[in-house]
Chain A
């Protein structure tokens, strides 16, 4: 396994092996259109007779809907029709978002538009459809809706207490899911510990803020009973299945087309009730209907994430050996679990991931997932990882400080050995192969620790407080059916690729994984070019169309490269075999003596060109009569790939963050940031580096600025980008990225995921850096985001 011929494996430079694209920083072929304004996002698509939807959204966190009067709205010029929950329910079934393997999980039936009760502020209640978005909004403004406001359950801490408002009385209480993992003897370990450190961590509710808002055009044609949906999504086949089921259509008559997508990060992998309503409206009207969320709607209806409060304990012996972790997570997920992936997964991930990088025996971790009248939460980039990493690494740093040990030494003593694999963690996660020590060593080559420590000491004498923080992490990638399929969700863990050679010798690959900016299409082109033996610019890529790509899961949980890439590699190799078979017949040579290099069939040993792919294409497609009758000439090859040995391919890495804290203003300036990541085989180093950098900035944003702030009544106070702060260029540091490569042995390609590592580690590294800076002042912060007010409060300055 893993015997792909790359330039590195042959000891050659990449230039010496011209058809080696795996491991090469190929620029993305789809970038010119993006920087020239020639991309096609869903909102750029205009269809004949298209209508536009706008939604009346609940002004209350919790209220009974008493009446909806649409008479005035119907008089607004351009308005075509108004749809209530009852109208939509005639053609669209409600759904319940639970997974069978998350035992005991419960949620209530959710309708595309609710029938009689609003359960969060921002929930779509009524749809107005008009000939323009502006007219539809005018119609919404003319609607008269009356409510009986109900008390809102907003505080997760009281969600299960006596007297709590039970959001769905039929569920009995507000508990959606609970799980505890126990390994070893936790109490005995703490009793025997030299030091026990305890802390409370808060990870604030935040959201994805994709620059392109959620976007859909649903187009139901009565002529052929088909629903064509243009959608900004990460998972076209999943949406196809869901819409078919909810709208009583045959799955084969629903087509999901996903052209360019303006960022996703998990925001666009879920089923949104307003989008399902748009599909239902098109089903009723038999016309295309477009809905593009505006930013105000995005804040109140895109999934939120990370609303966790955690208490954690760590016990260590006198030598700094970690004996036990004991962690208790509480998270609020809004009034409904989100379909179909469910909202219990982030809490579940916290249980799976805490303590992940370390060798320790005793573990207890529980998550309690409760309902509340806020925007529903669900999977957002690095699901659970930033929380688990911040808690773990925060505790490790505190323990190191308590026993007077350097934080690097503390980690070195406790990290799983690089030769310890395969290994099963106390949380039950199986690791095929990780590289914590190699990654730490690589990080220390990049981070000038001695110079930084000297600078830190010198600056402190001048009243300038700087700190250096570390965070090691593991990351779950390449999910198998153990993530969703075994729970009953129709979400494919398998993916396929079809590779075809056309008469001119060019190659087309169609893949079930999707592109939202990560570079999926680029790495598919690289892999196929490498596998077949053509120049990368001879490969065209098709993604994002359920009718024209093999069935697959799409791009999420870092599966694009590892799963989609392997399917592409295997289909490319199959096509190459077929081409060589035909070439061997034409050249009267054994296929084993031939190879393909940059579009030419060559003699394998000498490299002498024998015949071009274009000539083979000409003969096969136009003069097939000249070939032997029984010669197979299948220049379209499809292969699928699914992981079988491990439920997930874990990756690992470590980050370092160097900050300055202004103790007068509480402002944190990130000076520099480093990350070493092991995502297995790196297909395109430039793209991986940018994935890591972007992920780090997203992690830093969540830890420094981003916060969906609610008042006690459940009013969302941060509904513009002037209130909800995101990181901009000036605040963000230069980020240095290094790699260690431990390919997974499950696939020939050996790739694991790379997209979430940055987000997983950045908040923990930042927190440890801030606390390193504040340590001489006796202040500690553990509540994200680390706003100036929180830092000043920790310093007792306010």
Chain B
């Protein structure tokens, strides 16, 4: 448990070098070592999606990825996604639709929804629900979240015309 591994990676566009325990999960690396507390540990076995972050362009579970495996990787968390304004419209739609209550799932939910915006610009309500089914929300009943994603998709399609 004391074996440490040196890694250098890009996190939210900033170069980061750390020596990590081999067992250190990405979510703990982000929260404890880098102070990026926007991502949350909800179940720590890959079901709830609260720790969803982007690694090399794809969303992953921060609790299922070992930090030691990320030497040279590019990681984006909710903090970086927000700073880049990539999903500012989606975040505004979350606020307008009341698509968050306690907010503990919200950063992971926004990361997963951002993935829909990138890869599935014509997703239907049903496909949105399917895509978000790896992200547990105990508060909202999901409908407002689906509304927010659907509205953002529609607005973006409209803008592209």
| Chain A residues close to B by CB (< 8 Å) | 27-28, 31-41, 43-44, 77, 132, 134, 138, 208-213, 260-265, 294-295, 516-519, 686-687, 690, 693-698, 720-722, 726, 728-732, 734-735, 758
Assembled-state Cα–Cα distance A538/B83 (Å): 26
| A517 touching B142, Cβ below 8 Å | no
**For the side of the interface on B, what is the size category?**
35 or more
Residues 116-137 of chain B, each 1 if its beta carbon lies under 8 Å from chain A, else 0: 0000000000101110111111
| A265 in contact with B142 given A31-B98, A32-B95, A39-B103 (CB within 8 Å) | no
Residue from A132, A262, A729 in contact with B103 in the complex, judged by beta carbons closer than 8 Å: A262
Residue from B128, B133, B139 in contact with A263 in the complex, judged by beta carbons closer than 8 Å: B139
| A693 in contact with B138 given A138-B1, A212-B40, A262-B103 (CB within 8 Å) | no
Chain B residues with Cβ below 8 Å from A686 are: 98
| A696 in contact with B50 given A729-B133, A730-B129 (CB within 8 Å) | no
| B133 touching A690, Cβ below 8 Å | no
Q: Which of B32, B36, B50, B95 has the most CB of A within 10 A?
A: B95
Chain A residues with Cβ below 8 Å from B82 are: 36-37
Residues 22-52 of chain B, each 1 if its beta carbon lies under 8 Å from chain A, else 0: 0100000001100011111111110110100
Chain A residues with Cβ below 8 Å from B39 are: 37
Binds A, one of B66-74, B143-151, B153-161: B143-151
| B48 touching A517, Cβ below 8 Å | no
Distance to closest chain A CB from B131 (angstroms): 8
| A295 in contact with B91 given A211-B48, A211-B105, A262-B102 (CB within 8 Å) | no
Determine whether B107 belongs to the interface, using a CB cutoff of 8 Å to chain A. Answer: yes
Chain A residues with Cβ below 8 Å from B129 are: 729-730, 732
Of all chain B residues, the one with the shortest Cβ separation from A32 is B95
Chain B residues with Cβ below 8 Å from A730 are: 126, 129-130, 132-133
**Closest 6 CB pairs between A and B?**
A37-B38, A34-B103, A517-B102, A262-B104, A517-B101, A693-B141
Residue from A294, A729, A735 in contact with B44 in the complex, judged by beta carbons closer than 8 Å: A294
Determine whether B19 belongs to the interface, using a CB cutoff of 8 Å to chain A. Answer: no
Distance to closest chain B CB from A207 (angstroms): 11
Chain B residues with Cβ below 8 Å from A687 are: 98
Residue from A28, A77, A295 in contact with B95 in the complex, judged by beta carbons closer than 8 Å: A28
Chain A residues with Cβ below 8 Å from B78 are: 36-37
| A27 touching B98, Cβ below 8 Å | yes
Determine whether B79 belongs to the interface, using a CB cutoff of 8 Å to chain A. Answer: yes
Chain B residues with Cβ below 8 Å from A295 are: 42-45, 48
Assembled-state Cα–Cα distance A212/B40 (Å): 8
| A694 touching B110, Cβ below 8 Å | no
Residue from A38, A211, A698 in contact with B40 in the complex, judged by beta carbons closer than 8 Å: A211
| A726 touching B138, Cβ below 8 Å | yes
Determine whether B77 belongs to the interface, using a CB cutoff of 8 Å to chain A. Answer: yes
| B48 touching A735, Cβ below 8 Å | no
| A211 touching B107, Cβ below 8 Å | no
| A690 in contact with B141 given A37-B37, A519-B101, A721-B136 (CB within 8 Å) | yes
Of all chain B residues, the one with the shortest Cβ separation from A697 is B141
Additional A-B contacts beyond A34-B106, A694-B101 (10; CB < 8 A)? A31-B94, A44-B37, A132-B32, A211-B136, A212-B102, A295-B44, A697-B140, A729-B128, A730-B126, A730-B130
Assembled-state Cα–Cα distance A731/B136 (Å): 12
| A728 touching B133, Cβ below 8 Å | yes
25 inter-chain pairs at a CB distance below 8 angstroms, sorted by A residue, are A33-B103, A35-B106, A36-B79, A37-B37, A38-B38, A41-B37, A43-B40, A44-B37, A210-B102, A210-B138, A211-B48, A211-B50, A212-B42, A212-B102, A262-B40, A295-B43, A516-B102, A517-B102, A517-B139, A690-B140, A690-B144, A694-B141, A698-B138, A735-B141, A758-B141
Of all chain A residues, the one with the shortest Cβ separation from B21 is A134
Chain A residues with Cβ below 8 Å from B11 are: none
Assembled-state Cα–Cα distance A781/B101 (Å): 34
| A209 touching B138, Cβ below 8 Å | yes
Of all chain B residues, the one with the shortest Cβ separation from A700 is B141
Assembled-state Cα–Cα distance A16/B1 (Å): 66
Chain B residues with Cβ below 8 Å from A697 are: 140-142
Of all chain B residues, the one with the shortest Cβ separation from A29 is B95
Chain B residues with Cβ below 8 Å from A694 are: 101, 138-141
Residue from A31, A38, A208 in contact with B100 in the complex, judged by beta carbons closer than 8 Å: A31
| A720 in contact with B45 given A211-B50, A726-B138 (CB within 8 Å) | yes
Distance to closest chain A CB from B135 (angstroms): 7
| A35 touching B40, Cβ below 8 Å | no
Determine whether B96 belongs to the interface, using a CB cutoff of 8 Å to chain A. Answer: yes
Assembled-state Cα–Cα distance A39/B79 (Å): 11
Assembled-state Cα–Cα distance A294/B48 (Å): 13
Assembled-state Cα–Cα distance A39/B140 (Å): 18
Assembled-state Cα–Cα distance A262/B105 (Å): 8
Our count of residue pairs bridging A and B at CB distance below 8 angstroms stands at 176
| A27 in contact with B102 given A32-B91, A698-B138, A726-B136 (CB within 8 Å) | no
Of all chain B residues, the one with the shortest Cβ separation from A45 is B37
Distance to closest chain A CB from B149 (angstroms): 10
Assembled-state Cα–Cα distance A307/B130 (Å): 32
| A728 touching B102, Cβ below 8 Å | no
Assembled-state Cα–Cα distance A616/B117 (Å): 49
Assembled-state Cα–Cα distance A260/B38 (Å): 12
Residue from B21, B32, B103, B142 in contact with A31 in the complex, judged by beta carbons closer than 8 Å: B103
Assembled-state Cα–Cα distance A694/B141 (Å): 4
| A518 touching B103, Cβ below 8 Å | no
Of all chain B residues, the one with the shortest Cβ separation from A696 is B141
Residue from A39, A77, A213, A728 in contact with B136 in the complex, judged by beta carbons closer than 8 Å: A728
Distance to closest chain B CB from A612 (angstroms): 29
Assembled-state Cα–Cα distance A38/B37 (Å): 8
Assembled-state Cα–Cα distance A294/B45 (Å): 10
Assembled-state Cα–Cα distance A758/B141 (Å): 10
Of all chain A residues, the one with the shortest Cβ separation from B93 is A35
Chain A residues with Cβ below 8 Å from B141 are: 690, 693-697, 732, 735, 758
Assembled-state Cα–Cα distance A696/B38 (Å): 28
Distance to closest chain B CB from A583 (angstroms): 35
Q: Which of A31, A212, A517 has the most CB of B within 10 A?
A: A31
Of all chain B residues, the one with the shortest Cβ separation from A77 is B2
Distance to closest chain A CB from B140 (angstroms): 5
Chain A residues with Cβ below 8 Å from B103 are: 31, 33-35, 39, 260, 262, 517
| B101 touching A211, Cβ below 8 Å | no
| B45 touching A721, Cβ below 8 Å | yes
| A35 touching B91, Cβ below 8 Å | yes
Chain B residues with Cβ below 8 Å from A731 are: 133
Of all chain A residues, the one with the shortest Cβ separation from B36 is A37
Q: Which of B96, B141, B146 has the most CB of A within 10 A?
A: B141
| A263 touching B138, Cβ below 8 Å | yes
Chain B residues with Cβ below 8 Å from A40 are: 37
| A36 in contact with B142 given A211-B137, A262-B104, A690-B98 (CB within 8 Å) | no
Assembled-state Cα–Cα distance A374/B96 (Å): 43
| A27 touching B2, Cβ below 8 Å | no
Distance to closest chain B CB from A211 (angstroms): 4
Assembled-state Cα–Cα distance A694/B137 (Å): 9
Chain B residues with Cβ below 8 Å from A37 are: 36-39, 77-79, 82, 106-107
| B102 touching A211, Cβ below 8 Å | yes
Assembled-state Cα–Cα distance A35/B113 (Å): 12
Chain A residues with Cβ below 8 Å from B79 are: 36-37
Assembled-state Cα–Cα distance A59/B94 (Å): 43
Residue from A38, A263, A695, A722 in contact with B104 in the complex, judged by beta carbons closer than 8 Å: A263
Chain A residues with Cβ below 8 Å from B137 are: 211, 729
| B98 touching A28, Cβ below 8 Å | yes
Assembled-state Cα–Cα distance A38/B110 (Å): 13
Distance to closest chain B CB from A592 (angstroms): 39
| A720 touching B101, Cβ below 8 Å | no
| A31 in contact with B42 given A36-B78, A77-B2, A693-B143 (CB within 8 Å) | no
Distance to closest chain B CB from A441 (angstroms): 24
Assembled-state Cα–Cα distance A295/B45 (Å): 9
Assembled-state Cα–Cα distance A694/B40 (Å): 21
| A722 touching B47, Cβ below 8 Å | yes
Distance to closest chain A CB from B53 (angstroms): 10
